[in-house]
Amino acid sequence: MAFRRKGQTSSSIVRDLGIYLDSSLTMTAHISRTVSNSFAALRQVRSVRRSLPMWVMLSLVTALVLTRLDCGNATLAGLPTCQLNRLQSVLHADARLVCGARKYDHVTSLLQELHWLSVLDRITFKLATLVFRCMHGLAQAYLAETLNCAADVNSCHAFQIMAFRHKGQTMKLTSLQPGDCGDNLMDLLEASSEEPLWTTADN
Residue 108 and residue 128 in one domain: no
pLDDT band at 111 (very low <50, low <70, confident <90, very high): very high
pLDDT digits (tens, 9 = 90+) for 60-101: 999 999 999 999 898 999 999 999 999 999 999 999 999 989
Q: Are 183 and 198 in contact, with CB atoms under 8 Å apart?
A: no
Residue from 26, 66, 197, 175 nearest 126 by CA: 197
Q: Which pLDDT tens digit goes with each residue over 121-135?
A: 999 999 889 888 888
Question: Rounded mean pLDDT of 21-33?
Answer: 90
Residues 47 and 103 in one domain: yes
* Counted domains in the chain: 2
- pLDDT value for 13: 86
Strand, helix or coil for residue 78: coil
61 in a domain, yes or no? yes
pLDDT at residue 49 is higher than 50: yes
Mark whether 144 and 168 lie in a shared domain.
Answer: yes
Does residue 197 sit in the same domain as residue 103?
Answer: no
* Residue that finishes a domain, picked among 65, 98, 116: 116
Give the span between the Cα atoms of 111 and 77, in whole angstroms: 21
Q: Write down the pLDDT at residue 81.
A: 93
Write out pLDDT tens, residues 143-187: 888 777 665 445 444 333 344 444 444 444 444 444 444 444 445
In 121-195, DSSP assigns E strands to 147-149, 162-166, 169-173
The amino acid sitting at 22 is D
- pTM for the complete prediction? 0.67
Q: What residues make up the domain containing 155?
A: 124-201
148 and 85, same structural domain? no
